[in-house]
Structure 1
């Protein structure tokens, strides 16, 4: 018999291509567009007891396209938009590095840049999360690889961002074309899924 873990579980969300429409090196509020279904998916996850955590590679910082302060300003606004809808984003983790395109101290081959698992592991340590009971939603193979390396229980790929190949779909535990379809797959019992 499995003893249920007293640790919390999380719905980990990639940002660009999952929460918002993928735009190269997005860093301004006026360019930010939420993808249809993201708030409903997060609502269902929240009601099912999942903490909501964002994990995002931000090589635009490494490349000098925008600063960490500009990124954090945008994320403060993003979290406020969720809060306006009654949703709490527990935290966000980001990687500002790039192994080859980075400038100065951002040019580093790190473990936090996905496919590295460090952002997920850091979140698990900070919030005492059970990664085996957690879900990761991404739009790229590197998201799945990070989830696999961290021991995430359910690794989901969505077709809302980057182009997804059949091989990418096979690498995922679950694939959904839209966030609305994903909500129905993950949380069939939640209100509004019928």
Structure 2
């Protein structure tokens, strides 16, 4: 298993799971978090992104991350990466692409605190060819692992994603609400899906982030 291009080791806890603590921000225990999908939510999804030079951020997520940073709410990226299992690219390429995403976010003055990725997929080859792995969304494993490592309050946390699998992972992890990019609102037992289409929707997400951040200081 190769290291990154700069020689630093890959942040793998097992062959198909990446867990990376980003930056040095220290948080009190039992905070809620802002969970974010990556491709299609933070950056434009170019169908298995594998070229750092092609990464373009989506404009409407930056204010939400900034609100979380201001409120002292940890920001955690949870991303399925079946392109690795399918053999389209490897973890070293993922590291380069993800590094570019974080670099572009930093250029916009916003920070991510942890990145988790799952490469397992039933269409994969070798050890990554596993179906229904607990870390792969819609399963909640990545959220639960982040909750364990950062000692988060998952019930008060929020998730933003562009697929129903993101919302299902949030519900299964015990979150109460999520925002679906370009999707429709829905109410399910114990979980509310809100749409994220326009400025009004974004304002609602920012208000929700500020609310859970305000709860931290109460």
Class of the TM-score when normalised by the shorter of the 2 chains: 0.7 to 0.9
1:102 maps to 2:152: no
Match for residue 77 of structure 2 among 42, 48, 54:
54
Counterpart-to-counterpart distance in 1, 2:108 and 2:150: 23
Equivalent runs, 1:63-102 vs 2, <5 Å: 63-99=86-122, 101-102=123-124
Render the CA deviation track for 1:113-144: whole Å, top value 9, x for unaligned. 10010000000001011011110001111111
Q: What is the alpha-carbon distance in structure 1 between the residues aligned to residue 202 and residue 69 of structure 2?
A: 12
Gap change, CA 1:92 and 1:6, over 3 Å in 2: closer
Which position in structure 1 is the counterpart of 2:36?
Answer: 13
Contact persistence 1:139–1:157 (CA under 8 A): yes
What residue number does 1:27 align with? Answer: 50
Deviates more, 1:70-79 or 1:123-132: 70-79
Per the normalisation by structure 1, the TM-score is 0.84
Is 1:149 aligned with 2:172? yes
- TM-score norm. by structure 2 comes to 0.75
Query: What RMSD in Å do the two structures reach over aligned CA positions?
Result: 2.0
1:157–1:169 CA contact under 8 A, matched in 2:
no
Tell me how far apart the structure 1 counterparts of residues 52 and 94 of structure 2 sit (CA, whole Å): 10
Equivalent in the alignment of 1:135 = 158
**Structure 1 gaps, min length 5:** none
Residue in structure 1 matched with residue 12 of structure 2 by the alignment: none
Structure 2 unaligned regions, length at least 5: 1-27, 211-218
CA-CA distance at 1:67 after TM superposition: 0.3
